[in-house]
Amino acid sequence: MPAVRGEKLTKVFDELRAVDAVDFQIEEGECFGFLGPNGAGKSTIMRMIRCASPITSEKLEVLGMEVNSSSRDIKAVIGVAPQENNLDPDFTVRRNLTVYGRYFGLPREVLEERADRLLEFMQLSEKKDEKIQEIPGGMKRRLIIAWAMMNDPRLLISDDPSLS
């Protein structure tokens, strides 16, 4: 079973056909990217995969689940590293991770252990007590990846080629 499969995937906004009958398949363990010029529909497809925008027609499955009927289940098992910085500037680096992890109902001890492990993996342990505005942009990008991994996702989605 593929991790993600789109068949004649289409997205229409009013008169604009942003995605026009795209077929693709992403296997588990595969690193996959959409390439194209601005306005080609890459981010729109990514939003549909992460269930942030409904599909207009045909089929899109993520981890064997239909996006139209299983969006809550899909969101629980994917991690999303968005293009924009969505970190809370009032929190420390570590607190950004633990607060986000609560959205998945993880117990405190799991949140704390996972946050520490991800900070070490992303080489951010020494910055764990600093506020977001005090760390450089590259570290913020690494923190966003750690943030996206807090729920131990089966699928990690990045809408920014610099994170690949």
DSSP 21-72: EEEEEE-TT--------TTSSHHHHHHHHTTSS--SEEEEEETTEETTT-HH
List the structure tokens of 136: 């450089």
Q: Hey, what amino acid is at 78?
A: I
- Write down the pTM of the prediction: 0.85
Supply the pLDDT for residue 164. Answer: 44
Residue 72 above 70 pLDDT?
yes
State the average pLDDT over residues 52-78. 94
State the average pLDDT over residues 98-102. 94
Residue 163 above 60 pLDDT?
no
The DSSP symbol for 162 reads: G
Provide the residue ranges of all domains of the chain, joining segments of one domain with +.
4-69, 93-153
- Facing residues of 157 across strands? 80
CATH superfamily of 4-69: P-loop containing nucleotide triphosphate hydrolases (3.40.50.300)
C-beta of residue 144 within 8 angstroms of C-beta of residue 157:
no
Residue 99 above 60 pLDDT?
yes
C-beta of residue 6 within 8 angstroms of C-beta of residue 55:
no
